[in-house]
């Protein structure tokens, strides 16, 4: 299985809602990533988990809260988002502890904040 899955595919939420994005992989990868991608822009790294521990937080606002409950799952909890947070949120995974390894991307969750 060489697939990263993400749910939901689309999400519309109000600024007062609480929602979660989910990501799953069964490739035995121990590094998982959250990226944010706005239209016609490249992916921007948000968080990196290595061996289920948060290793990189790119100064992301606290209204985004990542969680890695086990080596296969990665969540992104959303609360009190702003309309400018509307974007495609991509999850990726790779082998951990090794640079130069390919990141496998999921299909993304397209988030709209009203």
In the complex, which residues of this chain contact other proteins (CB under 8 A)? 31, 40-45, 48, 50, 56, 90, 98-100, 102-108
71: which residues sit within 8 A by CB, 6+ positions away? 28, 29, 30, 51, 52
Give the Å distances, CA to CA, from 24 to 2, 6, 44, 83: 11, 7, 20, 26
């Amino acid at each position: 299985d060489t697939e990263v899955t993400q749910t939901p595919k689309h999400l519309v939420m109000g600024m007062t809602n609480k929602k979660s994005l989910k990501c799953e992989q069964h490739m035995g990868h121990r590094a998982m990533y959250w990226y944010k991608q706005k239209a016609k822009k490249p992916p921007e790294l948000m968080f990196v988990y290595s061996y289920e521990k948060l290793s990189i937080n790119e100064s992301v606002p606290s209204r985004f809260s990542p969680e890695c409950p086990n080596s296969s799952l990665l969540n992104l909890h959303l609360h009190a988002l702003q309309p400018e947070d509307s974007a495609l949120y991509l999850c990726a995974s790779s082998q951990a502890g090794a640079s130069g390894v390919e990141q496998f991307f999921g299909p993304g969750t397209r988030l709209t904040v009203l």
